[in-house]
Amino acid sequence: MSDDRSRVDDAGAFETRAVHAGHEPDPATGAVVPAVSLASTFAQDAVGQHQGYEYARTGNPTRAALERCVASLERAAHGLAFASGMAAEDAVLRLLLPGEHVIIPTDAYGGTYRLVSSVYGPAGIEWTAVDLTDPEALAAAWREETRVVWIETPTNPLLTVVDIAAIAELAHDRGVLVVVDNTFATPYLQQPLSFGADVVVHSTTKYLGGHSDVVGGFVAVDDDDLAQGIAYLQNAAGAIPGPFDCYLVLRGVRTLAVRMDRHCENARAVAALLTEHPAVAEVRYPGLPGHPGHQVARRQMRGYGGVVSFTCAGGEEAALRVAASTRIFTLAESLGAVESLIEHPARMTHASATGSPLAVDAALVRLSVGIESQVDLVADLKQALDAAE
């Protein structure tokens, strides 16, 4: 866990911290990027006397640089890097004890749903899936045993926007922890701790890495005791990222702000095309004024992100045809990287939710809009939609 933040870690605007926070030129060589520190163990001057590192599961200099940087971007006192987004989520959920209860969103990421329902459920953790935009449904879900409310905003794949501040107020009145999966927004667009969240989790596989070449996860927290508890689990359960993976995420983070600006611009243009196209029944993008969460998104986000989902008027068959017909949008799972991707959630990323309350519409298509030319992207999607009519 990294909390020995240097001067630059707190200073300057987001873009400056994204480039500089967490590391400085190497005093020995002047290298301007952190070294990929491969050592699994570190020499001690005497028993228990060392330079901050003993064994690399517990801490590693490259990981520490990443942890300081992303903690700074989330405006958190502590950051912890993990081997995947799911490993990060797992470390947070391990704080729950048998008999305790977690509230998750009805359209949580399929992997979150699977972890809660199929791994923690059988281990005695109670859970309820709730539409977090429905105050009455949420009011009915609280229990004496509720320990965590898990927010994802915007959600994967339906782009539901949840009011973090409103839920944090209700949760804190009950002594319940608020966890926000900030993967879709990234800290550039939304900083959940500033709205009262207690814990932020990320799949750094997505926008933070940004180049489809690394799998990683992250937890950011302000509270010292919570941070100690999660750091204990990071070391005890050991789902840590390797040094090169940490380096790749850190490299991605340095360009996060400029990439996100382009993702948002391109997604807006794609959403505009979809809104007008007759092959499309419904467009889900928080940037559209008609999106039910648009006003909340305006308040809590700097931009509306790079993911756009839509349902095809021609149902599942049309959705599959569109997904098979794009040339620049690559048919693939995942999101948040420089290249544009298209996928069919019901059969791909969210297949594990089939038959559950979290199952997604088979007519749904999800786009991760990349940073290519907006003109090319819109033309590609248009020809695929025309083919689906």
Which stretches of the chain bind ligand PLP, using CB under 6 A? 84-86, 109, 111, 152, 156, 181, 183-184, 203, 205, 215, 217
Q: CA triplet 211, 227, 94: central angle to 5 degrees?
A: 80
* Residue 334, burial from CB neighbour count under 10 angstroms (0-12, 13-18, 19+): middle
* Residue given tokens 């006397």 in the structure block: 49
Under 8 Å between Cβ of 215 and 84: yes
CA pair distance 71, 222, nearest whole angstrom: 9
Give the nearer residue to ligand PLP in terms of CB position, either 8 or 348: 348
Which are the catalytic amino acids?
57, 109, 181, 206
Tell me the Cα Rg of the chain: 21
* Cβ–Cβ under 8 Å, residues 160 and 154: yes
- Closest-CB residue for ligand PLP? 85
Nearer to ligand PLP, 318 or 337 (CB): 337
Shortest reach from residue 156's CB to ligand PLP, in Å: 4
128: closest CA among 159, 218, 4, 137?
137
Longest dimension (CA), the chain: 73
Smallest separation (angstroms) from ligand PLP to the CB of 201:
7
Residue 141 Cβ vs ligand PLP, minimum distance, rounded to whole Å = 21
Report the C-alpha gap between 307 and 304 in whole angstroms: 9
Name which of 2 and 204 has its Cβ closer to ligand PLP. 204
Do 195 and 189 contact (CB within 8 A), yes or no? no
Distance CA 241, CA 281 (A): 41
CB of 94 to ligand PLP, least distance (A): 15
**Shortest distance, CB of residue 152 to ligand PLP, whole angstroms?**
6
What is the distance between the alpha carbons of residues 281 and 314, in angstroms, rounded to a whole number? Answer: 8
Q: How far is the CB of 159 from ligand PLP (least distance, A)?
A: 11
Q: How far is Cα 149 from Cα 105, in angstroms, rounded to an integer? A: 9
